[in-house]
Amino acid sequence: MVHVIHADAVTKTFNVGKQALTAVDDVTFAVEPGEFVSIIGPSGCGKSTMLKLIADIYQPTSGQLSVNGRSPREARLGRELGMVFQDPALFPWRNVLDNVSLPLEIAGRLNEESRRQSVELLHLVGLGDFLEASPDQLSGGMRQRVAIARALVLEPRLFLLDEPFGALDEITRKRMNLELLRIWTQAHTSALLITHSLSEAVFLSDRVLVMSPRPGTITDDVRIDLPRPRQIEMYREQRFFALETRISDALHLTAGSPEVTYGR
């Protein structure tokens, strides 16, 4: 089986002035087809750096990294990656439909059929009634739904999410978690999420990878054995709490990682 992501002893070092700063060190893990995997760790541990290595924004200093059996650059050029960041980065002069269709324009694939697919995606994310709306007419959660639809419009094999709901209030965040799971299930793609929230990681994931403080490396791989489909009631179950506690222990929260939250 070809891994969707395969990282083998990946290290990334930046030159900061005259100093070499290692962000991630000897990171090894794999993501299988159809998996939803989260990476959690203290602020500054290299989680987002790892995501950017996978997305071909950065290149590894050493080690091997592949996406669907190819280099990250080949995967990016092949339009196999969809990315969502904490800031949805929508263009204010384009309406919702035109924002979602932008990757199709850039790829030279915008036509009547692909535009219909954009409309279908907006219905999938619950924004079918807002095609002509401008971004400033939407709530924060709705803007993130637009960003999710835009990331899926080229039908990527890998969905990369860098703290997409970090700026939302807790009620909206849990609602978006449910929406994300529904969309991910229907899109039949793999997903890698960066998060600071223990509860979000447990609720969404098949596995949670725990990173150490910088230089970040994977210190634990926690399998989330909660049944799917996930329900909001699971937040109150003993097994959910036990999994949160397991991850919390792995993070050594008692040593001080205030940016990692329970999000309950």
Number of C-beta neighbours around residue 69 at 10 A: 12
What is the DSSP track for 11-43? Answer: EEEEEETTEEEEEEEEEEEEE-TT-EEEEE-ST
Q: Give the pTM.
A: 0.89
Element (H, E) at 221: strand 218-223
pLDDT of residue 264: 43
Report the residue count for the chain: 264
* Dihedral of alpha carbons 244, 45, 170, 176, sign: negative
Element (H, E) at 203: helix 198-204
pLDDT of residue 260: 54
How far apart CA 154 and CA 222 sit, in angstroms, is: 31
pLDDT of residue 176: 85
pLDDT of residue 107: 87
How far apart CA 219 and CA 216 sit, in angstroms, is: 9
Q: 221: closest CA among 5, 30, 46?
A: 30
How far apart CA 149 and CA 96 sit, in angstroms, is: 10
What radius of gyration, in Å, describes the C-alpha atoms of the chain?
18
Please name the residues in contact with 238: beta carbons below 8 A apart, sequence gap of 6 or more: none
How far apart CA 260 and CA 262 sit, in angstroms, is: 7
The mean pLDDT values, 10 residues at a time, for the chain of 264 residues are: 93 90 96 96 92 96 96 94 90 95 90 89 90 94 91 91 86 86 89 94 97 93 95 94 95 54 49
Mean pLDDT of the chain: 90
